[in-house]
Structure 1
Amino acid sequence: MSNLGLIIEERSRDIGDFLVGRLIPFRKKRMIGPFIFIDHMGPTTLGPKNYMDVDQHPHIGLATLTYMLEGDIMHRDSIGTEQRITPGSVNWMVAGKGVSHSERTPEDLRNGNIFVAHGYQIWVALPKSKEEIIPEFHHIKASQLPEWKDGTTHFKLIAGSGYGRISPVPVFSPLFMIEIKTTEEYSLNTQGELKGEIGICVVDGSIVACGQQIEKGHILVSKVSDICTIQINNNSHLLLFGGEPLEEARHIFWNFVSHSKERIEVAKREWQDKTFPMMPADNTYVPLPS
């Protein structure tokens, strides 16, 4: 019997400027460790007239991790942050008890430039004891993230801990997110290097696991304790993510995550009534879905 676990194919949806491939949640696998939501943004060509504009919208009970492979985004939020994210760096916004934010193409790129935007928007559920903390924002430069090589294979620890290294991203539970790039075939063995559940997202190229070839645009889900050795094919690009599952189940509605359905109902009312924490000097507003 194969210990491959689930293979989840991206399901595409159109949100205007972007074709988004939803990785999780999935009906057979709601979370991988504390990771509750992953959107694949692009790759899409922006400009000369269409640019990224995600208006003000709310979050509770989670931390967002934005990781761009190509293209820049300007992040603004209700705690006063204004931060440009560039490829390879990390934006880590801790929503806690409530934060609003927007994401847009920076003004200096709106002059007819044509460029590719490609990245991942990731939500990490907070532990129950941290769901109502005061919102925080952290920007970690690409140069601050641990990087190493095994032969010709390149590793970068984006968040959490693994392979004896710790990322400076201030996470709240045991987790990991690692980027792997190959130029030649590479045999990946995570035994003893990562703890908890594991997801393997094939960004580009392909892998072979338990005798099956998995192409880009798929995510492979397994557990570190029983994962088979993964053969990464040459010129491939992976994101590994996961960690220890949270004790309580999580509910998700729109941009709200909580162990409590009642808490989500409160957030819904606050957003509709506009008593939710709002961004200063930003009158945009994404209505609550019906």
Structure 2
Amino acid sequence: MSNIGMIIEERAADIGNFFVGRLLPFRQKRMVGPFIFIDHMGPADLKNYQNLDVPPHPHIGLSTLTYLFEGAIMHRDSLGTAVEIQPGAVNWMTAGKGVTHSERTPEHLRTSDKKLHGLQIWVALPKELEQTEPSFTHVAAEDIPAWEQDGMQLKLIAGTAFGKTSPVPVHSPQYFIKIITPKGQKVAIGKDLYGESGLYILEGNMLSDGNTYGPKQLLVARDSTLCEFETTDHTTVFIFGGAPFPEERFIYWNFVSSDRATIEKAKQDWLEQHFPPVPGDTGFVPLPQQSPNIKIK
């Protein structure tokens, strides 16, 4: 029997001159371990008059993880953070009881042609930390654990696995792993995984039980400890997951919580602009029934 329990196709959304591929949540699989939201951004070629502009918007009850393959994004938040993220680095923002942030093309790139490609991920917080104070951590690319093993190139972007721990300050047992196989080979890493696992194919192909899977597919394992597959040459996959929470999580727009009333309060607080502002940025994103939450111009 195949260890692949579900195949989730990336659902592309055209929002002007930029494509976002939604992977999670999915109607039949709302979360994989603590991972509750994954968007594949791009790849996009932006002209000298096109820029990413996501004005200040709120979050509660989650940590955001931004990981870029190409391009750069300027992150500003209500904690006073102003950090440009570049490929291979990690921006990790824990919203807790509430934070506001914006994401824009950096000033030095706004009048030139540019590329943007990466992953935007939300990780739900344990119930006891949903109302924690917000925080932000930037981890440079060179500080991410990277090594070679059995012909593979691995990076432990976040969490704990393979006897290693990433410096990204996660809040529950989890992992986010990048694996590159320059040559096609068998990959058997189940003994290093735990909880629930999902595998996203960025490039190349994965073969399992006579089936071939390719880019823009998210495969959810029936049993993470049985994670074993073959790859073709030049394949890049991301494996993510960890221990699931005992409680259900509710999600509305940018808000995640185990308590619906907390989400309703956050909605009202944003409508009344009670969230803290972002220093050095202006404007805000209305609730989704009023306008889309991402703007490219």
TM over 0.5: yes
- The answer to whether the 8 Å contact 2:204/2:214 transfers is yes
SS at match of 1:242: strand
2:24 is matched with: 24
> How many equivalent pairs are there?
289
Percent identity of paired positions between Structure 1 and Structure 2: 51
Deviates more, 1:133-142 or 1:181-190: 181-190
1:46 and 1:225 map into 2 onto residues whose CA distance is: 38
SS at match of 1:5: strand
CA deviation profile, 1:22-70 (whole Å, cap 9, x unmatched) = 0010011100000000000000001211011111110000000000000
Paired residue type of 1:273: E
Counterparts in 2 of 1:196 and 1:283: CA distance versus 1, 3 Å: same
2:13 is matched with: 13
CA deviation profile, 1:108-149 (whole Å, cap 9, x unmatched) = 1123x2121100000000000110011000000011011111
Kindly indicate whether residue 118 of structure 2 is the aligned counterpart of residue 122 of structure 1.
Answer: no
- The answer to whether the 8 Å contact 1:3/1:226 transfers is no
Q: Matches of residues 255-270 of structure 1 in structure 2 within 5 Å? A: 255-270=254-269
Paired residue type of 2:35: F
1:249 and 1:160 map into 2 onto residues whose CA distance is: 22
2:63 is matched with: 63
Counterparts in 2 of 1:225 and 1:77: CA distance versus 1, 3 Å: closer
SS at match of 2:265: helix
CA shift, 1:164, in A, is: 0.9
2:272 and 2:17 map into 1 onto residues whose CA distance is: 29
Q: Matches of residues 169-248 of structure 1 in structure 2 within 5 Å? A: 169-225=168-224, 227-248=226-247
CA shift, 1:224, in A, is: 4.0
Superposed CA RMSD: 1.2
CA deviation profile, 1:84-122 (whole Å, cap 9, x unmatched) = 1000000000000000100011101123x2121100000
Deviates more, 1:216-225 or 1:40-49: 216-225
Kindly indicate whether residue 98 of structure 2 is the aligned counterpart of residue 98 of structure 1.
Answer: yes
Structure 1: unaligned runs, 5 residues or longer: none
1:277 is matched with: 276
Counterparts in 2 of 1:250 and 1:211: CA distance versus 1, 3 Å: same
Structure 2: unaligned runs, 5 residues or longer: 290-297
2:67 and 2:76 map into 1 onto residues whose CA distance is: 16
SS at match of 2:22: strand
Paired residue type of 1:288: L
TM-score, with normalisation over the residues of structure 1?
A: 0.97
Counterparts in 2 of 1:228 and 1:162: CA distance versus 1, 3 Å: closer
1:158 and 1:226 map into 2 onto residues whose CA distance is: 20
1:122 and 1:150 map into 2 onto residues whose CA distance is: 26
2:227 and 2:144 map into 1 onto residues whose CA distance is: 27
